[in-house]
A = this chain, B = another copy of it.
Amino acid sequence: MPSPKTKDLEQAARWFHALSDQTRLRIIDCLLDCEQCVCDLTDMLQTGQSRLSFHLKILKDAGILKDRRDGRWVYYSLNPDTIEEVQEYAESLKTRSHGGRGGSPCCD
């Protein structure tokens, strides 16, 4: 069973970092059903615009969100591809860890 490459770990750490904040998880929650523009998100989350923009950038840089400008408005939406990759990473941890079954004695 191959270990993940450093690059994969880097990527995964980036994803998880983007997800490691309640504000950002709430943003994601607001986007589960459909895209939203920034001003709607400030209303939904009751937060300052610059704070929101900061967190949106982190999520976007991690590949978790996409944005789309329409006139004066910028709409953010989830990037399903990345969400799926995150899920697959978590799934692989689960699958591979079940091989070791918790507190089994050392096997090296």
With A and B bound together, what is the CA distance between A65 and B35 in angstroms? 36
Whether A28 pairs with B93 at a CB distance below 8 angstroms is: yes
One of B3, B28, B104 near A29 (C-beta < 8 A): B3
Give the number of times this chain occurs in the complex, counting copies: 2
Using C-beta atoms within 8 Å of the partner chain, give the interface range for chain A: 35 or more
User: Which residues in chain A, 81-95, are within 8 Å of chain B measured between CB atoms?
Assistant: 83-84, 86-87, 89-91, 93-94
Q: What's the minimum C-beta distance from A89 to chain B, rounded to whole angstroms?
A: 8
Give the B-binding residues of A (Cβ under 8 A): 1, 3-4, 6, 9-10, 12-13, 16-17, 19-22, 25-26, 28-29, 31-37, 40, 66, 68, 75, 77-80, 83-84, 86-87, 89-91, 93-94, 96-108
